[in-house]
Structure 1
Amino acid sequence: MFNQLALSFLLSGLVAVLAYWRGSLAPSGVAGALLVGTIICGLGGWVWGILLALFFVSSSLLSHYKEREKQAVAEKFDKGHQRDLGQVLANGGGGALVALIYGIFPSSWWFLLFLGIMGTVTADTWATELGTLSKRPPRLITTGRIVPVGSSGGISLFGTAVSFMGGLLIGLTAGLLTQMNLVGLTITGGIGGLAGSLCDSFLGATVQQIYYCDVCEKETEKKAHCGQPTRPIRGWGWMNNDVVNFLSSFFGGGTAVLVYSLLVT
């Protein structure tokens, strides 16, 4: 196990440095990626590491896709495309925790939970990066009311379809790399990822802390906007976007375990 951890540390460090050089990671994000990558690949195994890499690479590439068109929308988000420690732990911390438990108490069920977590963070990131390019305005998941693009809790048909595709990719890859049920894992990844992504939107529409900028008169996830402090208008003070992502990933993971158990039994 020591050799696998050491090799995982070296590979994770290489990926993290390259991602920093490409502008996908902030300095604190490099440390987070090194920690998460070493634990997941070192304790979970190479299949786990490949799924993590698939999420990270695809998400990083999509974050740079049509950046100019997404620039105005990105102003609403708490953080940008250069992921810091909080973002890395929010997206990969759940998977690292599951890999740690798996290393102590091995069971195929932990892999299914990890699959759902990776499916969720992939689905949610894809929906954010591509869903904002939808030609139709999003609607609030709780009421169906039309909201501005980039609003927390806003979903669109295109964004929802994209999120499902992201989860399917994770599930399909897992099925191709393991001896488990290929169709079952593919469907599990799709449904688990979609469920987690929708949970993220629901939390964003209900309990995530949202602020209002009096300068530009727009809602935002940021505590400061247009060079001025913003004021909270709804949500819980501790429920920022990173916490929402972390909690939603486990919802998607739990959904994946349930879906797969229903499909194969």
Structure 2
Amino acid sequence: MIDVMQPGLEQGNLLVTFGIVGVLILISEKYRVLDRLGVYAAAALGIIVGALGHWTWLVILLGFLGTAHKATKWRFDEKAAKGLSESSDGHRSWGNVVANGGLPGLVAIIAFILDDHKNGLWLFSAAVSVAAADTFASEIGCLDERVRMITTMKKCEPGLNGGFSPNGQIAALVGSTIIATLAFVSEANLELAALVAVIGWLGCQVDSVLGAVLENRGLMTKGTVNAAAITFGIITMWWHLGFPHL
């Protein structure tokens, strides 16, 4: 019997991984979740995450992709009219895939090399949680007029780097909690799952601070800010786990 629960380059894991990636491609093409290059990038990332990590990690990543797409399409016409959307129809590009999935993919590679999928799951989940929290905060919070700059607490325009709103903060926690729930389903550890949710929300705050202090001054780009916030999430979880392999 094929064992689908063994991680890494095992037959069962590979079969499920490639099946999920195939479904991802079909759904992305049908519902225009990603542009063409975005689909290719997501497929490559999915194979790396699933084959080197585990197919349940891929489910976590797809949970982020699907819910992020829903958040993007939420009141999309209003966001587009205000110039707050990144594309004309709500799809995401390969750049978004790399910015949000590159570091989680790197975690999967390192987990495979070190043969430590147990810790790898939680490092991976923390990384995706930060990406989810930031995406939800941006997509939901941008329509909340009660925006303040995170470094000064002064009122500012919606969509400005470093701005935060009550709705955005709630949305960030919802996004990180979705990822934490999927991680808990993968491995029933309530403490670490709760930490994934908290780290995601905190990472969103780090993203806002870096956006206000550095991105608005042209010292960082949106992509590097995202990467720095996700790195914060990975390091925070690594610290909690006791810095394994250091």
TM-score (norm 2): 0.85
Mapped partners of 2:143, 2:154: distance in 1: 19
Instruction: Give the CA deviation at 1:77.
Output: 5.9
> Could you tell me whether the CA contact under 8 Å between 1:94 and 1:246 is conserved in 2?
yes
Q: Provide Cα deviations, 1:226-254, integer angstroms capped at 9, x if missing partner.
A: xxxxxxxx222xx3212221221111222
Q: Provide Cα deviations, 1:164-221, integer angstroms capped at 9, x if missing partner.
A: 1211221122113214x22x1232121110111111111111211x5xxxxxxxxxxx
Instruction: Give the CA deviation at 1:152.
Output: 0.8
Equivalences for 1:14-25 in 2 at 5 Å? 14-25=23-34
Mapped partners of 2:68, 2:85: distance in 1: 16
> Could you tell me whether the CA contact under 8 Å between 2:16 and 2:55 is conserved in 1?
no
Task: Indicate the residue corresponding to 2:221 in structure 1.
Answer: 240
- Give percent identity, aligned residues only: 30
Structure 1 residue 43 corresponds to structure 2 residue 24: no
Unaligned stretches of 5+ residues in structure 1: 211-233
User: Residues 79 and 195 (structure 1 numbering): CA distance in 2 closer, same or farther, change over 3 Å?
Assistant: farther
Task: Indicate the residue corresponding to 1:176 in structure 2.
Answer: 185
Mapped partners of 1:163, 1:154: distance in 2: 13
Task: Indicate the residue corresponding to 1:217 in structure 2.
Answer: none
Aligned partner (choices 162, 167, 172) of residue 158 of structure 1: 167
AA aligned to 1:28 is L
Task: Indicate the residue corresponding to 2:149 in structure 1.
Answer: 140
Task: Indicate the residue corresponding to 1:188 in structure 2.
Answer: 195
> Could you tell me whether the CA contact under 8 Å between 1:185 and 1:260 is conserved in 2?
no
Greater CA drift, 136-145 or 114-123? 136-145
> Could you tell me whether the CA contact under 8 Å between 2:126 and 2:237 is conserved in 1?
yes
Instruction: Give the CA deviation at 1:115.
Output: 1.2
Instruction: Give the CA deviation at 1:17.
Output: 3.6
Moved >4 Å (runs of 4+)? 76-80
User: Residues 165 and 76 (structure 1 numbering): CA distance in 2 closer, same or farther, change over 3 Å?
Assistant: closer
Task: Indicate the residue corresponding to 2:204 in structure 1.
Answer: 197
Task: Indicate the residue corresponding to 2:126 in structure 1.
Answer: 116
AA aligned to 1:53 is L
Aligned partner (choices 102, 106, 129) of residue 111 of structure 2: 102
> Could you tell me whether the CA contact under 8 Å between 1:5 and 1:43 is conserved in 2?
no
Larger relative helix fraction = 2
Instruction: Give the CA deviation at 1:2.
Output: 6.0
> Could you tell me whether the CA contact under 8 Å between 2:127 and 2:233 is conserved in 1?
yes
Mapped partners of 1:78, 1:159: distance in 2: 17
Count of residue pairs the alignment pairs up: 231
Instruction: Give the CA deviation at 1:20.
Output: 3.0
TM-score (norm 1): 0.80
Mapped partners of 2:185, 2:39: distance in 1: 29
Task: Indicate the residue corresponding to 2:237 in structure 1.
Answer: 256
Mapped partners of 2:81, 2:158: distance in 1: 9
Aligned Cα RMSD in Å? Answer: 2.0
Instruction: Give the CA deviation at 1:72.
Output: 3.3
Instruction: Give the CA deviation at 1:112.
Output: 1.8
User: Residues 163 and 259 (structure 1 numbering): CA distance in 2 closer, same or farther, change over 3 Å?
Assistant: farther
Structure 1 residue 34 corresponds to structure 2 residue 46: no
